[in-house]
């Protein structure tokens, strides 16, 4: 595709006004013009093949409902070329996952953490505020060590949602992503667990479900720049 000169995109008078404003704010002319034309820089650095990625969570990360080879960390490793550590432990709440994180970071020194926590909090009717606090603490710990995080939203489970198959992400995830400025994989588990053909039971995926989740995850990783297209 042929490149279009920036000068041809913006009218001269508008362009000069933007450049003067940028100079007053200490912004380079190229940055001003790129911003004016709607060009976005990549939001994350690509993680090279062979790097260690930590998949942290509960049974959805562990892969309950299917074999270890069809869990999403295993499938992600195949798709990305990364060394993906499956740090999912079935039954754990956000506070239990948070308790394991410091040692995991020290052991593996991951280039990225894929964090999926909260599902057991919702099933046990634990405090949403407490779960949000624990997940925020994990995000902040990773950021303090320079480790980027992709946060994964989990649906708010209820009897009505389970019966109708209409699942929605718990609202804390969008709030956390905005507050902590981390990318969010939204609606993936809601789609998978809302489809009986992709479930092993009401709260776990089957092999087809983990495959679909991985497809959505890979798409988000490419969109955010973590994974090269």
Give the C-alpha separation, 98 to 117, whole Å: 9
CB 180 within 8 A of CB 146: no
CA angle, corner 205, sides to 202 and 211, nearest 5? 155
H helix count then E strand count, the chain: 12, 7
Catalytic residue list contains 108: no
Catalytic residue among 58, 59, 121, 190: 59
Give the C-alpha separation, 150 to 118, whole Å: 15
Long-range contacts of the stretch 159-162 (C-beta < 8 A, 24+):
161/194, 162/202
Helix-helix angle 172-180:128-144, to 10 degrees:
30
Catalytic residue among 14, 30, 43, 201: 201
Q: What radius of gyration, in Å, describes the C-alpha atoms of the chain?
A: 21
Catalytic residue list contains 201: yes
Catalytic residue list contains 8: no
Give the C-alpha separation, 166 to 80, whole Å: 31
Distance set, CA 50 to CA 47, 64, 158 (Å): 9, 26, 40
Catalytic residue among 43, 127, 204, 229: 204
Residues catalogued as catalytic:
59, 201, 204
């Amino acid at each position: 595709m042929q490149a279009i000169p920036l000068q041809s995109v913006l009218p001269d008078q508008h362009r000069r006004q933007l450049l003067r404003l940028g100079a007053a704010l200490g912004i380079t002319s190229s940055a001003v013009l790129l911003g004016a034309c709607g060009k976005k820089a990549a939001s994350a650095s690509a993680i090279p093949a062979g790097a260690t990625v930590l998949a942290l969570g509960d049974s959805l990360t562990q892969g309950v409902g299917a074999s270890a080879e069809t869990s999403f960390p295993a499938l992600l490793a195949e798709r990305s070329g990364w060394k993906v550590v499956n740090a999912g432990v079935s039954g754990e709440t956000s506070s239990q996952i948070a308790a394991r994180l410091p040692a995991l970071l020290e052991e593996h020194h991951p280039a990225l953490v894929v964090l999926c926590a909260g599902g057991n909090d919702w099933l046990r009717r634990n405090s949403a505020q407490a779960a949000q606090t624990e997940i925020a603490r994990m995000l902040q710990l990773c950021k303090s060590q320079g480790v980027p995080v992709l946060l994964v939203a989990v649906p708010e489970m209820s009897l009505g949602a389970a019966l109708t198959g209409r699942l929605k992400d718990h609202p804390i995830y969008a709030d956390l992503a905005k507050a902590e400025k981390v990318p969010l994989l939204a609606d993936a588990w809601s789609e998978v667990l809302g489809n009986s053909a992709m479930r092993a039971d009401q709260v776990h995926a089957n092999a087809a479900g983990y495959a679909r989740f991985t497809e959505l995850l890979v798409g988000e990783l490419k969109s955010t720049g973590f994974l090269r297209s």
